Amino acid sequence: MNRPTSAARGAIALSVLTALLAFAAPASAGFSPGAKTLGDPIIPQVGNGGYDVKKYEIDLSYDPVTNRFLAGTKTLIVAKATQGLSRFSLDFQRDLAIDGVEVDGADASYSRADAKPKLSSNPEVTQPAKLTIKPPTGLARGSKFSVVVAYHGEPKAIVDADTSFEGWVQACSSPGDCDGSFTVNEPIGAQSWFPANNHPSDKAKLRLATTAPAAYTAIGSGKQVSRVDNGDGTATTTWAENKPMATYLATGTVGRFDVEQGTMTDHTDGTEIPTFTAIDSAGPQQRKDEVATAAMRIPEMVNFLARKFGSYPFETVGLVADWVPAVGYALENQTKPHFSGDEEGPQVDDSTLAHELSHQWMGDSISPANWSTIWFNEGWATFSEVLFDNKVDGAEMTPRKFFKAVYEIKPKYWKIAPAKLDGDPANLFDGVAVYNRPGAMLEGLREIIGNKRFFAFAHDLNDRHGYGNISRGEFVGEAKRASGLHGGKLKRLGRYLRQWLLWQKRPHLTPSDF
Ligand SMILES: [Zn+2]
């Protein structure tokens, strides 16, 4: 079923014929190639036009010893055409060999190329790639279609513009001591292990079935559906995330873990939520005990946040504490935040756990419309972390003090506007522009409109944008609507938000101007 366009003369001849037929009947044809970009202002190399993904079904056959995907690995994508499509593209790195592509059960030709333009002038940075698929017949606008891509080989971690690692990262506690994968996909890592419309604006359900040696734990997003012993030393574990998910929040982590499962109650609506905690088995016992103690605070944190933002949005909650110091950060993977630990072992600190859990509402359920809206995720998570540390754990830094401290930051740190990031993907995780400044902006908004209206606003955002996306314009509109302000003060609030999100210098307006 594999038929690369570049090598198959028959396919070329057929495409010429198809083009001639299309030319002969322009009124009924209406098929054109989908765009190879969604025009993201920070990462235009990812995202593809002409279709909307409804679900991914990924089957991985994985050998954690060699870190390779074996024969039988494939991804099924069900999508809806939003235009008549003569061909379309997916985001998928070229490290993995493709065994075949089918569209609606029929062999399809394909080609692979680097995405354009160049992401970074640093040669260490991974250039995103495209898989372009030409179905045997055009896909009618509005029709549902399925794509199956079969592949194998060794997935390579992605090196981001800021030189951090993401995607399918081999999980090594020290060089050469590796036990599987630590999967963290923000912003583009998903395309290192499955073909996707890899942009946060195209959210979809995702099911993952991983076949791996039975001694390993294979983790996915959402809830575990089944675990089948294959009788040959391997087991297949299937997970399903039934709520829409951005590809950057998916996980496929495999390793040797101590797993704890239980349930917790969301007291805002009485829902019982299954919990799942996985701690790297190889970690020192003291570190494992400390992580287990931190994980026991998940119910308390989820309830604290649910009172502020609305009921917990997903079917399961938990964490994965791996031992992969080369990664060096935590990520809010949907339903299971991931922690990479440090040289000494797995590690989860309470503040960071509150931060990653707050993302389940702000970032995961309400996802950014594009990568220049990442200030929304990190602003809320920074604010939540400060609030939790102060209100629950008694930290001296109140949200008010936090605002003041941020406003004192030296002028040079205000040059990057949160909602622009100079168009540079290396600024995607800038500490001031993406975390502290938007966090302070939200605290300022709380001081301007008051606690009651502010947290009603947070609830409203979840009611109106949960399981979807939010743009800067939508956020500003919602904030103004929720403010209860009128006339000159409402206009001033608009200016306040614009200054805090768009100015390339320290904003003039602060809560004391209201
Ligand atoms: Zn965060």
Q: How far is the CA of 153 from the centre of ligand 1 (A)?
A: 32
pLDDT of amino acid 442: 99
pLDDT tens track for 132-150: 999 999 999 999 999 999 9
pLDDT of amino acid 11: 37
The whole-number average pLDDT for the span 281-291 is: 98
Protein residues near ligand 1, an ion, with CB under 5 A: 378, 381
Handedness of CA 419, 420, 421, 425 (dihedral sign): positive
Q: How far is the CA of 442 from the centre of ligand 1 (A)?
A: 15
Q: How far is the CA of 210 from the centre of ligand 1 (A)?
A: 27
User: E strands within 49-203?
Assistant: 51-63, 68-69, 74-81, 88-91, 97-103, 106-107, 109-114, 129-134, 144-152, 158-159, 165-174, 177-184
Q: Which two tokens stand for residue 162?
A: 């800021």
Q: How far is the CA of 380 from the centre of ligand 1 (A)?
A: 8
Q: How far is the CA of 378 from the centre of ligand 1 (A)?
A: 5
pTM, whole model, 2 decimals?
Answer: 0.94
Q: How far is the CA of 328 from the centre of ligand 1 (A)?
A: 13
> Residue 3 above 50 pLDDT?
no
Q: How far is the CA of 414 from the centre of ligand 1 (A)?
A: 20
pLDDT of amino acid 9: 33
Q: How far is the CA of 274 from the centre of ligand 1 (A)?
A: 23
pLDDT tens track for 320-357: 999 999 999 999 999 999 999 999 999 999 999 999 99
β-bridge mates for residue 339, sequence order: 321, 330
Q: How far is the CA of 379 from the centre of ligand 1 (A)?
A: 8
Q: How far is the CA of 432 from the centre of ligand 1 (A)?
A: 13
The whole-number average pLDDT for the span 266-270 is: 98
When pLDDT is cut at 50, 70 and 90, the band that residue 25 belongs to is very low
pLDDT of amino acid 4: 36
Pairing of strands 257-266, 254-255: unpaired
Q: How far is the CA of 356 from the centre of ligand 1 (A)?
A: 6
When pLDDT is cut at 50, 70 and 90, the band that residue 10 belongs to is very low
> What residue ranges define each of the domains in the chain, with the CATH number in brackets?
1-252 (2.60.40.1730), 256-352 (3.30.2010.30), 370-513 (1.10.390.10)
Q: What angle do CA 495, 371, 483 make, to 5 degrees?
A: 30
Q: Which two tokens stand for residue 276?
A: 């799942």
The whole-number average pLDDT for the span 274-302 is: 98
The whole-number average pLDDT for the span 153-170 is: 98
Higher pLDDT pick, 22 / 343: 343
Q: How far is the CA of 398 from the centre of ligand 1 (A)?
A: 19
When pLDDT is cut at 50, 70 and 90, the band that residue 465 belongs to is very high
Q: How far is the CA of 368 from the centre of ligand 1 (A)?
A: 13
